[in-house]
Structure 1
């Protein structure tokens, strides 16, 4: 090896190494790597799998683990969730003619495809009631809480993704579905039909019927007039 005048290789700058020296170094390092430890001579040593082999095995193990974690879902849900996890749909949020902000497709989306997962904090009903009152006091008019089951709610008000910008429509092009992954329930937005580029993503909120009505502004032909 070249002698470093300054005592530090990084301060020497770039310099070329002769090919013969490179081969000599590589051959020595390879021989050292292949030589078994002295205390294990005569014993069988298991071969170490190649790095790419390990990576492929880990990916297959991850897929098997996800497959076993899907309870009540078909195999197609697993495949679509894997696709959604590693290759997210191209979406954008911008001003909507329905209400305030909306979510729009930046690529064609086929029917019955996972569009986006509704991400947020999983909270209980008691905490949801407390937060709803606090949000009203803070002047947050829009509600970003999505009920999963009887006592589980996803709150995306201050911790969520683009899915919280999806507006309601009485004639939506998507729908929400609950899937279970690794014993945890998740809400995924599916496409009901083909969605074109720059088309707004919508689904039916299905709010419970209440005396105080929330006006619907979706503008569809079969609009019910209210969200609840």
Structure 2
């Protein structure tokens, strides 16, 4: 009789332990598992969205990213993660940033239009007067125009080649009485040191 009561006691304790484990599993482990799976699912969806956006940016919109830079008083160049032909124009929105001067199948070296010794054909948007703009470094370009042509600080300079692109705005007008020409200093709106994304011009 005593042995039988002991067995019943163990059975009751075992049944109680089973219920405790079952309750712990259903109330704690299952919600944790659901939460964990939900987090994993969100992370995977986020990764997929970022991947799709990057792919769309880099292919559909002819976009690219700046992966290296060098800017000093001698040269303003940067490298992009797209292999494109030499001479291809590189933009940031509607701003003319630079021209591809070298590279390979997966990257290209771009020279800023403000790089010293760089020359860019532009037009004073208000007057329609064309001129050759030479890079001076630090985001600046300059040109000379005859006296008598109306120009003012803030005037926009554009490059028109099937699509009107902004070169910059007139930042300073240097007027020397002994010089029959006005020296025009133009400031590009793009800062190469902070440039991250670009667009390849396709006509």
Tell whether the structures are fold-level matches, with TM greater than 0.5: no
Q: Which has the higher contact order (CA 8 A, sep 6+)?
A: 1
TM-score by length of 1: 0.28
Larger Rg over CA atoms: 2
Please identify which structure carries the higher strand content: 2
TM-score using structure 2 length = 0.31
